[in-house]
Structure 1
């Protein structure tokens, strides 16, 4: 028994190189991973997978806390106002890049008060159309909307959601198409009206769209990444469909309060990248259509966030998007 215990301790030590030597001042309190989205959703699931895997290389598994409210504002505020010691992490998405333009007043500054640590990965979106709609390609859809301004509606997961922003970008890139927005409380709530033809199209994250397209319930007209995705090999990219400038993702990122000591930020980044590099983790995240990034740094994550803010804020302001 003693020999097996010693072997187990040795294996655990070998499995945790990134935090075997913690930065000076690293606290011993349990870690929290705050997810500003509901439990069981498309953001919560990979966040919990990350927490589970981090628990294999850290002394303790981070506790996932779902703190919802006012979009992502409540959960993000929890992290922004937490101790700057690396014990509280934020797991967030492209919604973070929309906060300044969406809200006239926030209890925190999304850029000044939060520090990007690691870009976990990106998830392409897929444009789905009602199967009875007289358009079988992206160009046919654009021509239909151009010939019938204001006649059709599209659904989204809510005002200011990643799906809403991606659809508004599409309409703008396609020449300012006039299609009315119908917000729902999540993409699952929007799907029935797409299926019955109340709405004409919807953009959704790839992992949500795959079963509907594979069953033939809807038409898959375009995927928002630079390459086609393996799960939907017959769905062309927007570039292949005639909109080469269009690219939109939802992305997942780990953040900490701004002012967290740099050694801790670097250590968290190294450990997240270490976990994401595991083939079994990549396989599980790939099943969710999340394209994993294993080489991000705090600096590159910061640059990514600022580029996304610069991309989406003009779209939000031009479309007059406000929170529900």
Structure 2
């Protein structure tokens, strides 16, 4: 069985995909191999699965990127909804709003006031235009009062962190796993976490709601998809296998290290509902903000 990951090898999504693939190899009769198919964002890898046989032997491991394909790309050879069958929501990944330690704001409301008082003076980094970090930050700026902060896209999260650490970048709303260590060491300051609950690793960092921005939540997430038309019994068997893997203690422990909040009770129907809700949330933001894929 091929598990197509449309992200580069060694990145956080690839690490999680390989963890799930190893678990599935122990649960299913087949060996599951991760195949990284990158290009045009996630388009190349996603297209591979859209055009694969409907037998359950080629599946997709993707993220929030799947939910914004339609507004980001004017021409696709596949339909992100009609050509796929969600199998299981594997987990959600919260984000951590960090500022460099020289920023005078000590909490979220002070940061909002700083941005409001000096529009266009400050900047924020992202892991790339149209990615989860970019979307989550734009949603924050919009909900906080259409704040004007300059966007600096990087090629991934790793190149942005040094600029945050050395003070060349004001703010970085990054996936939590990439920022926890710098916050714990005091190299950066965390003002809020984007999940509904606080992170166990950073119990003193409030949620956005607790910090004064109720209604704000943002995640990237991990989901398995099969090509549309895959037999129902195959989809259900894959779903049960994935849930079994997510409940494994070693997987739970590794997910905690990656700041992935596991979902071990997902069904194909609930995964499809999650995807619809995420598309309804993010597609209008992409269109109205004029975000394009670089």
Q: TM-score, normalised by structure 2?
A: 0.99
Which range moved further: 91-100 or 59-68?
Answer: 59-68
| Aligned with residue 30 of structure 2, among 49, 60, 68 | 60
The answer to whether structure 1 residue 201 and structure 2 residue 171 are counterparts is: yes
Are positions 1:251 and 2:221 aligned together?
A: yes
Partners of 2:168 and 2:290 in 1: how far apart? 23
**RMSD (CA atoms):** 0.8
2:11 matched residue in structure 1: 41
Cα-to-partner distance string for 1:127-186 (whole Å, 9 max, x where unaligned) = 010110110100000000000001111110000010000000000010100001111100
Q: Which moved more, 1:111-120 or 1:59-68?
A: 59-68
Shift of 1:240: 0.8
Q: Quick check: 1:130–1:200 contact (8 Å CA) kept in 2?
A: yes
Query: 5 Å matches for 1:127-166?
Result: 127-166=97-136
Choose the corresponding residue for 2:143, options 173, 177, 180: 173
Equivalent position of 1:307 in the other structure: 277
Q: CA deviation at 1:59?
A: 2.1
Aligned pairs, number: 294
Partners of 1:53 and 1:268 in 2: CA distance: 12
Moved more, 301-310 or 189-198: 189-198
Cα distance, 1:213 vs structure 2: 0.6
**Could you tell me which residue of structure 1 aligns to residue 54 of structure 2?**
84
Q: Which residue of 2 aligns with 1:8?
A: none
**Superposition misfits of 4+ residues, deviation over 6 angstroms:** none
Structure 1 residue 291: deviation in Å? 0.6
SS at match of 2:179: helix
Residue 267 of structure 2 corresponds to residue 265 of structure 1: no
The superposition leaves residues 206-232 of structure 1 with CA deviations (integer Å, 9 ceiling, x where unpaired) of 111111111111111100011101011
- Stretches of structure 2 that go unaligned for 5 or more consecutive residues are none
C-alpha distance in 1, partners of 2:212/2:284? 23
Tell me if 1:295 matches 2:277: no
TM-score (norm 1): 0.90
Q: Which residue of 2 aligns with 1:108?
A: 78
Mind listing any 5+ residue stretches in structure 1 that lack a counterpart? 1-30
Whole-Å Cα distance in 2 between the matches of residues 198 and 109 of structure 1? 40
Q: Tell me the equivalent position of 2:42.
A: 72
**How many angstroms apart in 2 are the aligned matches of 1:277 and 1:192?**
35
- 1:233 aligns with one of 176, 187, 203: 203
Is 1:122–1:249's contact at 8 Å kept on the other side of the alignment? yes
Residues 233-277 of structure 1: CA deviation (Å, up to 9, x unaligned): 111110111001100001000001011111101110011111111
Secondary structure of the 1:188 match is coil
